[in-house]
Amino acid sequence: MSDVPPPNTVPPPTVPPTAGKPDLVTRFLAFFIDAVIVSVVGLVPVLGTLAAIAYALLRDGLHYEFMDGRSIGKKLMKLKVLRHDGSAMDMATSARRNWPLAVGSLAQGLLLLPVIGWILLPIAVIAGALLALFEVYKVVTDPEGRRWGDALAGTKVVQAAS
């Protein structure tokens, strides 16, 4: 017999034992910083809106040196998103993790569409608010502070050393 796991099995989490669950205030501040960035960038017509949506979705998978593989808010608040399989964060995992929170930003993009965008806008705003409330509920009630987006992407937010 070989030591190769059977296909379609998820390897055990490889979260470092020293990585602790961040407190709610730190997580909120990191999210708030990122939300301000999305809001300000989104004020620029068309390209700014598209850039804001892209940042909202991909922020934890961007590998710019100054970001250290995490969003600007997480970098400033010394938080890091870890994948349970131990591999590096990438844009696909970030999009899976962040789409529930990015729905509100996507609503902003609907304004770029003539007529139909204005019709869909209230639906997107309500859906975004409900998803955000559910995500907050999950962070508060989950023992590891994992929100639904973390469950979808197989990730966890931890306190980082720097």
3-state SS, the chain, equals CCCCCCCCCCCCCCCCCCCCCCCHHHHHHHHHHHHHHHHHHCCCCCHHHHHHHHHHHHCCCCCCCCCCCCCHHHHHCCEEEEECCCCCCCHHHHHHHHHHHHHHHHHHHHCCCCCHHHHHHHHHHHHHHHHHHHHHHHHHHCCCCCCHHHHHHCEEEEECCC
Q: Report how many domains make up the chain.
A: 1
Each residue's pLDDT tens digit, 52-92: 999 999 999 998 888 888 999 999 999 999 999 989 899 99
The domain in which residue 114 lies consists of 24-159
pTM over 0.75: yes
Each residue's pLDDT tens digit, 96-150: 999 998 887 777 777 777 777 778 888 888 998 999 999 999 999 999 999 999 9
Looking at the domain assignment, is residue 153 inside a domain? yes
Looking at the domain assignment, is residue 16 inside a domain? no
Looking at the domain assignment, is residue 70 inside a domain? yes
Looking at the domain assignment, is residue 61 inside a domain? yes
Looking at the domain assignment, is residue 17 inside a domain? no
